[in-house]
Amino acid sequence: MKLLVRLPFLLLLTLLGCGDGSPTASPAASGESGSDAAAQPVADGGTDANTDAGSHARVDAGTDANTDGGTNARADAGTNLAPDAAATPAADAGPPVTASTIRIHYPRVGHTLSIRGALAPLSWTQGVTTSELADGWSWASTNLTAASDFKPLLDDATWSIGPNYRVSPGETIDIYPRFRPGAGSYSVRWPAFASATLGRSRKVWVYLPPGYDENTVARFPVVYMHDGQNLFDRNAPFGFWHTDETLDEGAANGQIREAIVVGPEATSARTTEYTPSFDTGRGTGGGASAYITSLVSELKPLVDQELRTLPARETTAIMGSSLGGLVSSWAGVHHASTFGLVGAMSPSTWWDGAMILGEVSTTNAQSHKPLRVYIDSGDAGPSLDDNVNTALLAGRYRGAGYVDTRDLLYVLAPGHQHNEAYWAQRLPRALGFLLGARPHTGSMP
């Protein structure tokens, strides 16, 4: 009977949580296992709320303090956890944080490189160290919250030449700076370039940009320009284009990408070589196909072999004026797989009954089409610079799908006549459109 009296009492004690049958703190409730701290993200300086030791490791070359997988990634396991992990779902971690990465390509021998910039974790007053690459250095951070201007410093003492660079959050960029002031160089690199296709020889001028000799890991776009005798020679009989000065200034202010210029001189066969068809009214012409074939199959391979070029069509331009503009436009129709950028300054659109208008109208039927086209003319002088036909030429490009200021730039220059002095004035805009600005350029310092 006494046993029967004690049973309800023991049952009551059990229900009240006394004695050996009381529930203990489960691993899930204590935060020791079952509920990893990732279920309770802790803000890390306001930037990365879910800094799990394995999933968001920093690559900030020593500048981000929260790379330690155990010391800064979790709060006190016993103070900020829900009492029942099963009852409190893990917070949404959101998309992974992508690092902003800057790769600086420059010869490393005997040098170090640092970076300074406008926004944290960079600053203009103290250089941030970088990690070595095979051909330079790199820096990366997940803490950049907005687009920031920056500049590399050689040995944390010498600023790079030109305007600031700019990087955006999550962006990876490659830059090829230079640190020594100076101009590009030009020369007659090949005094007697012989073409088996044409059966004649000519001089070929070459301009190398300011960074060519200094930054020996950099490669450059190439602009093939006709009438090479008028590009650099201060004693050219009809004047010259100031091509080297234009590109030097563009390199200094970042408005024109550094490029190599290759300028084959014209010969006594200029009219024949620069015209796509035989003009019965003039009794001459029709050698453009052979001339462009010589550039594509003979001169360009030599240039790409001897110089540090970017040989793809995206970085290869062809340009000229007058008949040189005509042959450039024709090359863009039939050799766009080689020349992706076309510049036609005051083109002789009138040639052979304006035959080039029909040629350009076939652009969409070709296997390739130019990526960008620049056309211009003046409207003064005895010929009015053939501005009416040139406007029609621009219209044919629009008919082939080109859009003004996107992949077509047509310029009518009031008061300009048909000569080198005016082409030199328009050259900066032409090259700026075809080549673009220096990649990743920010503001001027």
Least confident of 46-50, 127-131, 153-157: 46-50
User: How many other CB atoms are there within 10 angstroms of residue 93's CB atom?
Assistant: 16
**Tens-place pLDDT, residues 237-295:** 889 999 999 999 999 999 999 999 999 999 999 999 999 999 999 999 999 999 999 99
Stated as kind and residue range, the H or E segment containing 102 is strand 100-105
Q: Is 288 helix (H, G, I), strand (E, B) or coil?
A: helix
> How far is residue 369's CA from residue 217's CA, in Å, rounded to a whole number?
31
What are the residues whose beta carbons fall under 8 Å from the beta carbon of 338, sequence distance 6 or more? 296, 300, 313, 316
User: How many other CB atoms are there within 10 angstroms of residue 94's CB atom?
Assistant: 10
Degrees (nearest 5) of the Cα angle 120, 124, 126? 85
Segments in 55-140 forming alpha helices (H): none
**Cα torsion through 399, 343, 215, 121, rounded to 10:** -40
Please state the rounded mean pLDDT for residues 394-414: 98
Please state the rounded mean pLDDT for residues 171-177: 98
**Tens-place pLDDT, residues 229-240:** 999 999 998 899
Take residue 370 and report the two structure tokens written for it. Answer: 């130019």
Task: Answer yes or no: are the C-beta atoms of 70 and 36 closer than 8 Å.
Answer: no
Query: What is the amino acid identity at position 164?
Result: N
Take residue 179 and report the two structure tokens written for it. Answer: 């640190």
| Cα 253 to chain centroid, rounded | 16
Q: In this model, does residue 75 exceed pLDDT 80?
A: no
User: How many other CB atoms are there within 10 angstroms of residue 29's CB atom?
Assistant: 18
Q: How confident is the model at residue 61 (pLDDT cuts 50, 70, 90)?
A: very low
> How far is residue 321's CA from residue 333's CA, in Å, rounded to a whole number?
17
**Tens-place pLDDT, residues 373-402:** 999 999 999 999 999 999 999 999 999 999
pLDDT score recorded for residue 30: 32
Degrees (nearest 5) of the Cα angle 223, 229, 234? 105
Task: Please give the CATH number for the structural domain made up of 185-435.
Answer: 3.40.50.1820
Task: Answer yes or no: are the C-beta atoms of 318 and 274 closer than 8 Å.
Answer: no
Task: Answer yes or no: are the C-beta atoms of 362 and 332 closer than 8 Å.
Answer: no
Take residue 171 and report the two structure tokens written for it. Answer: 């962006």
| Cα 241 to chain centroid, rounded | 27
Degrees (nearest 5) of the Cα angle 233, 370, 429? 45
> How far is residue 274's CA from residue 28's CA, in Å, rounded to a whole number?
82
Strands (E), 147-269: 148-154, 158-159, 165-167, 172-175, 185-195, 200-208, 222-225, 260-264
pLDDT score recorded for residue 91: 52
What does residue 372 show for φ and ψ, rounded to 5 degrees? -145, 145
For residue 89, how many C-alpha atoms fall within 13 Å in the half-sphere facing its CB?
Answer: 3
Take residue 428 and report the two structure tokens written for it. Answer: 């900066």
Closest C-alpha among 137, 175, 183 to residue 156 = 137
Q: Is 408 helix (H, G, I), strand (E, B) or coil?
A: strand
Domain with CATH 2.60.40.10 in the chain: 56-179
Q: Is 173 helix (H, G, I), strand (E, B) or coil?
A: strand
Domain with CATH 3.40.50.1820 in the chain: 185-435
Segments in 1-135 forming alpha helices (H): 2-15, 27-30
- Superfamily of domain 56-179 in CATH is Immunoglobulins (2.60.40.10)
Q: How confident is the model at residue 95 (pLDDT cuts 50, 70, 90)?
A: low
Q: In this model, does residue 445 exceed pLDDT 80?
A: no
Q: Is 279 helix (H, G, I), strand (E, B) or coil?
A: strand
pLDDT score recorded for residue 97: 74
Q: Is 89 helix (H, G, I), strand (E, B) or coil?
A: coil
Closest C-alpha among 364, 377, 362, 399 to residue 326 = 377
> How far is residue 141's CA from residue 99's CA, in Å, rounded to a whole number?
5
Q: How confident is the model at residue 444 (pLDDT cuts 50, 70, 90)?
A: confident
Question: 0.85 cut: is pTM over it?
Answer: no
**Tens-place pLDDT, residues 133-160:** 999 999 999 999 999 999 999 999 999 9
